[in-house]
Structure 1
Amino acid sequence: MDQAKAFVLTNVEILNKSLTNVQMLNTFEQKTKIPKAYAVGGSSLVFLLFIMFGIGARFLVNLFGFGYAAYASIGALESPGKEDDTQWLTYWVIYGILNLVEHFTSFVLYWIPFYFTLKTVLLAWLMLPSTKGAEKLYIGYIRPAYVGFNAKINSKTQ
């Protein structure tokens, strides 16, 4: 039990340090005396519970998949480097494909238990720069399909 407590406290401290640059959370912490990590953790837990129980799940998952990504994409456009631009461009390509597939197969997908929970985890994996999920999916599957399809089109038009 002591190891679990130490693990949680260590990760709460790491999360608190990583959230120090978020002014809104700093203001929240000053006014409520609730640590930033607890606020983010509690909000995330409520978010996941709503999704797991289907309370506005479609809206919440799309808000998560679009909202944060749009915010981070604008930040990437304003930054001087190109690396983050590539991360978010590949994310948007995959996000668009996922939404298109979901639109045409929604009658099947909604029968999958915890579909929206799985989609949330997938979107988080795609978004996180530490996992580079969007890049892995793009390089492994989408780019080869595009290159092959593009080669067929180009050979028929010549």
Structure 2
Amino acid sequence: MVTSEGSDKAGKNQELALQRLPTTAALEKVLQVLESNSPLNLTPITNFVRQEFISRISFFENKTSKTWLFRSFVKLGIPPLYLFIALSIILGTMIGNMYKRSVYLLCNLVGVVYPAYKSIQAIDLLSATSEGEVSNSSIVIINEQKQWLTYWAVYGWLQVVDYWSTWLLEMFPGYNLFKLIFLYWAQNNRSRGATLIFEKILKPLLQKNIQNYNNKIVSSSTNQKQRQTLRQRQQQQYNGNELYHQQQSGSLTSEPTPEEIWRRDTVVTSRESEIKPYRLNNNV
């Protein structure tokens, strides 16, 4: 009973969602007709279309239907289905004209606007976590940082490659179109191409280079310690040889004791007393 009630509620929620999104509902009906009338099993193909295309159309339609301009046209009596199709055609025409007239501007808009928005969201999520407003979101933060930091690194390298864009366009006429598709794939929240680039390409390369760098640091520090130990041994050996030569030549003298100093001073005083009368007689 619980399972049936849950499935009924899910079905009703889906029907309500399709009523609010007439374009998505129309496309869903087309897929259902194809599945029911085709002699072949088209379920894998239709499921792929649902996941990759209709879900994106549904997302875009949902965002568009919440705008003030769309609601204003609906209040005027224009059907939402036709209105959404018209807006999609207008938007596609504008993008096509921009691609023909200024493909560089279009590539920059596609490559910067949405990623900048998502990067700001990632920063807000990180600040909220540091303030304790969000709990158990460390994995989400790490994934977002990995996604967008890698994306900006890839986008920066594409900007460097654009220096040779004239030569690339001569060799590959579809370079700009390929760049647009690649940027969309890298930043899309479903494909998360930037994360895939990091996991499959950058991470193994970085781990290999970091390991080599650490090995070089360890070997250099070991060699430095060995050289320092060798210098200390050589210095000790040199000091020992020097001390030995000084002892052999008799140049090494120990400091006099207080008794020796007293005796020396006594001898000097007695000699001075003996020599003083002689000096006085000679002066006279």
Structure 1 gaps of 5+ residues are none
Greater C-alpha Rg: 2
Kindly indicate whether the alpha-carbon contact (under 8 Å) linking 2:146 and 2:198 is maintained by their aligned counterparts in 1. Answer: no
Change (3 A) 1:96 1:110: same
Q: Distance in 1 between matches of 2:124 and 2:157?
A: 26
Structure 2 gaps of 5+ residues are 1-26, 32-49, 75-79, 126-133, 135-139, 221-284
Structure of higher RCO (CA pairs closer than 8 Å, 6+ residues apart): 1
Give the counterpart of 2:107 among 55, 61, 64.
Answer: 61
Number of aligned pairs? 149
Deviation for aligned residue 1:41: 5.4
Within 5 A, what are the aligned runs for 1:1-158? 6=30, 15-16=57-58, 18-21=60-63, 26-33=67-74, 35-36=83-84, 38-40=86-88, 42-51=90-99, 53=100, 55-79=101-125, 80=134, 81-82=140-141, 83-103=143-163, 105-111=164-170, 112-157=172-217, 158=220
Q: Distance in 2 between matches of 1:138 and 1:15?
A: 28
Q: Distance in 2 between matches of 1:110 and 1:130?
A: 30
**For residues 49-97 of structure 1, what are the alpha-carbon distances to aligned partners after superposition, in whole Å with 9 as ceiling and x for unaligned?**
532x3x1101111111011110121122223541333322221122122
**For residues 22-53 of structure 1, what are the alpha-carbon distances to aligned partners after superposition, in whole Å with 9 as ceiling and x for unaligned?**
68x521211234644652454145314532x3
Kindly indicate whether the alpha-carbon contact (under 8 Å) linking 1:87 and 1:129 is maintained by their aligned counterparts in 2. Answer: no
Change (3 A) 1:84 1:13: closer
Aligned-residue identity in percent: 22
CA RMSD of aligned residues (A): 3.2
Q: Distance in 2 between matches of 1:6 and 1:21?
A: 23
Q: Distance in 2 between matches of 1:127 and 1:71?
A: 11
